[in-house]
Structure 1
Amino acid sequence: MSDFDSRELRDAFGSFMTGVTIVTAVSKSGEKVGFTANSFTSVSMDPPLLLVCPAKRLSSYDVFADCEHFTVSVLAEDQQHASNTFASSKGDRFSEVAWFEDQHGVPVIEGAVTYFSCASQQKIDAGDHLLLVGQVQDFKTTEKLGLGYAKGGYFSLGMERQAEAITHRHSTQVGGLVECNDQLLLKEEDGFFSLPQGNLIPESSSYQTLKVVLETLAVEAEIGQVFSVYEKRASGHFVAYYRAEATEEKAPAGYRYVNIGELTSLKFASDDVASMIARYAEEKRHGVFRLYVGNESEGDIR
């Protein structure tokens, strides 16, 4: 046994950005099983081999340890629901997600970026997991973009690119939802609240601009994914907000940290920020953050 804190080690492993897959198999009695995994990698081109790592705590572990065939479906950026469904251990997962069978009768997730049909080639005991090496017998891939995962949250590469492109084409303000210890950093003025933000710096990205904004406020924070990009139609300007994690709960003058559970009771300087904050609080409660692109009242959420 190591002396590592298991939560800290899991977080450290989670800093590696990956895609998201669903691995499926069928038991000898015909029961279909599957689990969500980002521990997936290619192993060899000749012969064509890949690797997945089912955990021994899985209720379906014995099926994977005994299976002759399995499939790996690489999820598309709009398939968070499928990922969450197969990450849960409740209910009939296959009734909630569209799928079809490969040539061996193993389920493949409909709409995946890519899928691989594999024959089990080698199984290696590895601590609390099994290294399941599969030889690819069939595969199909598309031009879709995959669903990303890092630091406990999803990200959409396509939407991130779209958001960043918007900020370069338009006059933009950039802000941050800076969190620390389940609290959000807010600026308070005349009884109304707002977020730390500034104007887009010429020849800089929105990410670089926010970094300067936070440095000016002496806030040390790790900037994460884009949370909202939207147009203020009256002015034609765009606003981009990123999620960020402060390293310490130290608020600059005029700012304070507010518990996330109290956010919806506050008065904000604008309706669009109030709406965004309400979404942030709700998504924080569910543990899944999404990206919004649109205007103050309507847009696309991924």
Structure 2
Amino acid sequence: MPGTPTQDYRELMSTFPTGVAVVTGLDADGAPQGMTCSSIASATLLPPTLLVCLRTGSRTLSAVTARGSFAVNFLHDGGQEAAELFSRAEANRFSQVHWRMSQAGLPRLAQDAFAVAECKVSDVHMVGDHAVVLGEVTTIAQVPGTPLLYGLRRFAAWPIAAVRPGGRR
């Protein structure tokens, strides 16, 4: 017997593996905010723009829209604890991870991310219980790493060794 449309949709989406990131920003008081996000996509190449979906009512969405900027911390396969931490509504999450402020003034997860894209908010659309945020990429920092994936309600590493930019292993 099928479940409710919401249950069926949640089950459907659990079968679609995706990369895992933590979206971070600073709130109006300058405190770091962040949340785990697997709803990320490349929206355009020119200008380079990312799309992230953030839960309405979250402190992260408030920080991103108030300051007009955010960072997408793409987690490596050793970042599962950070992914789980930032998926919970827990106070003082940043005290439990190694992070630093970037030159642009955005929180970066120093040990859990293999790449960080800093973005300037270009548009926000409220859709249901989430906001679709478009951000023009202003800065990229990347080191070799194997992406953390999530699907079938489990974390996993990319199944092959990561290739560095330029095609080198």
- Could you say which structure has the greater relative contact order, defined with CA pairs below 8 angstroms and 6 or more residues apart? 2
| In 2: Cα distance, 1:57 partner to 1:10 partner | 20
Superposition pairs for residues 174-189 of structure 1, below 5 Å?
none
Deviations 1:48-94 (A, max 9, x none): 10010101142443223323110000000011111111111113111
Question: Does residue 135 of the first structure (1) align with residue 136 of the second (2)?
Answer: yes
Q: Which structure 1 residue ranges, 4+ long, deviate > 3 Å from structure 2?
A: none
Partner of 2:82: 82
* TM-aligned CA distance change 1:11 to 1:57, over 3 Å: farther
Q: 130-139 vs 88-97, which deviates more?
A: 88-97
Superposition pairs for residues 275-294 of structure 1, below 5 Å?
none
The alpha-carbon deviation at position 142 of structure 1 amounts to: 2.0
Task: State TM-score, norm by structure 2.
Answer: 0.86
Superposition pairs for residues 100-111 of structure 1, below 5 Å?
100-111=100-111
* TM-aligned CA distance change 1:33 to 1:116, over 3 Å: same
Superposition pairs for residues 1-302 of structure 1, below 5 Å?
4-111=4-111, 112-158=113-159
* TM-aligned CA distance change 1:18 to 1:92, over 3 Å: same
The alpha-carbon deviation at position 110 of structure 1 amounts to: 1.1
Q: Which structure has the highest helix share of the two?
A: 1
Equivalent pairs: percent with the same residue? 26
Give 5+ residue unaligned stretches, structure 2: 162-169
Larger Rg: 1
Give 5+ residue unaligned stretches, structure 1: 163-302
Contact 1:55 1:130 (C-alpha < 8 Å) held by counterparts: yes
Contact 1:52 1:131 (C-alpha < 8 Å) held by counterparts: yes
AA partner of residue 35 (structure 1): M
Deviations 1:278-299 (A, max 9, x none): xxxxxxxxxxxxxxxxxxxxxx
Task: State TM-score, norm by structure 1.
Answer: 0.50
Contact 1:54 1:64 (C-alpha < 8 Å) held by counterparts: no
Contact 1:102 1:117 (C-alpha < 8 Å) held by counterparts: no
